[in-house]
Amino acid sequence: MAGFLVKRLWQSIVLLIIVSMIGFGVLHLTPGGPLSQYALTPGMTQETMDRIAEQMGLNRPLPIQYLDWAWRLLQGDWGTSYRDQQPVLTVIGRHLFATLLLMVSSTVISIGLGTWIGIRGATHRYSTFDYTATVGAMIALSIPTFWFGLVGIYVFSLKLGWLPAGNMYTIGDGSLLDYLHHLILPSVVLALVNIAIWSRYMRTATLDVINQDFVKTARAKGVGERRVLMKHVVGNALLPMITLAGMQLPNLLSGALVTETVFTWPGMGRLFLDSLGYNDYPVVMGLLMFSAILVLLGNLIADLVAASIDPRIRLA
């Protein structure tokens, strides 16, 4: 396990370095580059701009600038938001909870439903249920998440009036029940695509396991069908899903951003869009880097969990 841990950690560090290089590249695509915040100041002249550029070290060679930028990133100095003059990490931290809440609740829904649909599809292969689930998953993957959110708001908020159309809580309320009430629609909307993905993979994984010798052995020993399914099949089919959950993390984050914009959910996605609207580039860049780091961390954890359960992975 220690060897696997070191190897996997090293991989993550290498990836982190490349990710930061891509981020640095994007940063230099911003209009005016890192100087853009000063360009907006009234009465700014070219000479002053040049002087600031020199003070900020922007006339140094790019590799040096990159190292400087990366070093400050490592020390937690992610710059200051143009909009409210607060450190970028503080601003992101304020929006982290809402996004995580949305992601976790929709993941619970999608894993629960997706696992069930996938297993049932595999055990009742080519049945009406399996066929419907297959076609349904393909259609679910084709529906734009933001539009599905709009339809959800139209039906459940505007027409039926059952659920709130946006925000995370009612101002002046904020009880647990109130949070849950607001959480239902966005997390179901975000879950739709993930249920589709999860059920497809779960079906394949179950089919892979269901015909293996140890399952046949269990049946031959006279173990009940239900017990075979729950203990021998599902347990083993869920293993590759742990790695998959890690791999799906960037898509989940993308989906959360999309959902947040429709439901005015006060998370990182909403912050990202607001910052884009205000040309608040430090926050935009911060979120870009932060989300990528979150994904790398998620992948690392998923792989470590999978390896700690399954010796085949860590010994491979």
| Residues at the site binding another protein, with contacts judged by CB under 8 A | 14-15, 18-19, 21-22, 26, 29-31, 135, 138-139, 141-147, 150-151, 153-154, 158, 250-251, 253-254, 257-258, 261-262, 272-273, 276, 284-285, 287-288, 291-292, 295-296, 299
When the beta carbons of 195 and 233 are compared against another protein, the nearer one is 195
When the beta carbons of 105 and 145 are compared against another protein, the nearer one is 145
Q: Give the shortest CB-263-to-another protein separation in angstroms.
A: 10
User: In the block, which residue shows the tokens 């349904």?
Assistant: 136
When the beta carbons of 238 and 259 are compared against another protein, the nearer one is 259
Q: Give the shortest CB-198-to-another protein separation in angstroms.
A: 17
When the beta carbons of 229 and 240 are compared against another protein, the nearer one is 240
- CB half-sphere exposure, 240, CA atoms < 13 A: 13
- CB half-sphere exposure, 165, CA atoms < 13 A: 10
Q: Give the shortest CB-223-to-another protein separation in angstroms.
A: 32
Burial of 316 (0-12, 13-18, 19+ CB in 10 A): exposed
Burial of 278 (0-12, 13-18, 19+ CB in 10 A): middle
- Return the structure tokens found at 198: 């999860």
The whole-angstrom separation of Cα 278 and Cα 79 is 16
188: helix, strand or coil:
helix
Q: Give the shortest CB-19-to-another protein separation in angstroms.
A: 5
The whole-angstrom separation of Cα 190 and Cα 81 is 29
When the beta carbons of 41 and 251 are compared against another protein, the nearer one is 251
Q: Give the shortest CB-284-to-another protein separation in angstroms.
A: 6
